[in-house]
Amino acid sequence: MIPKGVKKKLTIEAFRVANYLAGRLGYGKVCALTGAIGDLQMRFSRRRREVVKKNFRMIRGDETGWEKTFRYFWATVADALMIPYVSREWVEGKILRIDGIEYAEEFRGKALIVVTGHLGNPEFLANIAGVLGFEGVAVAEVPSGEWFREFLKIRERFGLKIVPVRGAYPKLVEAIRAKKFVYLVSDRNVSREKGRIIKLGCGYRNVPTGFARLSLETGTPVVFAYGVPVGTCEGGKYYAEVSPPYLPRSVEDALNWFAGHLYRAVYRWTDRWFVFWDEWLNAPPSGR
């Protein structure tokens, strides 16, 4: 068993080396390397393989196509590692289409809460937002210090400001008051609540309520957005979608709205839903 402190140090060093090598190997070699890692993980990481299969069963009712999840995930890793070394034009060239972009355009110069899931590539989506000029603050669940500085090379490359989850809520309120966008991956717990249970497909999951609380407290609309790879690595582009803005009436209303959008998205793109840990509850909550 590797001690937690040693594991953290190894993770930081591996991330640093990957960032360093990406700029020197070039995109093609990085794609080849991450593709090989994806194949190895699919074959030998039994725990993650079983989680992905379970995700498919819960969302789609069968496991058909689960293998592609690893290939798509590691293709997005390659794209993320290239961010510190590429131009705005390179990022724009990776965009195939954004459906609903007009909803975001309506809020230029205004506050908006953008919520997403671990669908596709949140890192790349954050940089697309920066390239397109949607200024704002994004929340990341990473430790402070050395790891965080390495992480910022990717997330802040094109203008977004990243804040750690711990202590994020007041900063998000401040950003909204400054008429900026707030970007939240839905499982980032930015409030002190334990979360609420939502039904997703055939199962139940716990979802933090931070985005809902933030919307209700500030009167700010929310949109659901995601970006998924279409094709793997070299030559691959991204399809993105932005929902119409919604102003929830309560936490329950917000979570029902979110669950509907998340389910439709992950049903369509199950092999691009990068959740490699089992978050499914063993049983539905009492009373359901």
Range 23-27, long-range pairs (CB < 8 A, 24+ positions): 23/84, 23/85, 27/78, 27/82, 27/233, 27/234
Which residues are registered as beta bridge partners of 207?
A: 196
- pLDDT at residue 221, as a whole number: 98
- pLDDT at residue 107, as a whole number: 96
145 secondary structure, DSSP code: T
**Residues 191-218: tens digit of each pLDDT:** 767 788 999 999 999 988 989 999 999 9
Q: How many CA atoms lie within 13 A of 34 on its CB side?
A: 27
- Whole-number Å distance between alpha carbons of 128 and 125: 5
**What is the rounded average pLDDT of the residues 91-115?**
95
158-167, 241-250, 278-287: least confident range: 278-287
- Strand ranges in 60-165 using DSSP code E only, listed in sequence order: 95-99, 112-116, 136-140, 161-164
- Whole-number Å distance between alpha carbons of 142 and 125: 18
Q: What is the mean pLDDT of the chain?
A: 88
Q: At what angle do helices 27-44 and 46-60 cross, to 10 degrees?
A: 90
**Residues 49-87: tens digit of each pLDDT:** 999 999 999 999 999 999 999 999 999 999 988 988 999
Within 8 A by CB and 6+ apart from 206, the residues are: 194, 195, 196, 197, 198, 279, 281
Res. 288: pLDDT tops 60 = no
Q: How far apart are the first and last CA of the chain?
A: 40
**What is the rounded average pLDDT of the residues 32-56?**
94
- pLDDT at residue 243, as a whole number: 97
When pLDDT is cut at 50, 70 and 90, the band that residue 5 belongs to is low
E strand or H helix that includes residue 122: helix 122-131
Whole-structure pTM value: 0.90
More confident residue, 49 or 3: 49
- What amino acid is encoded at 273 in this protein? W
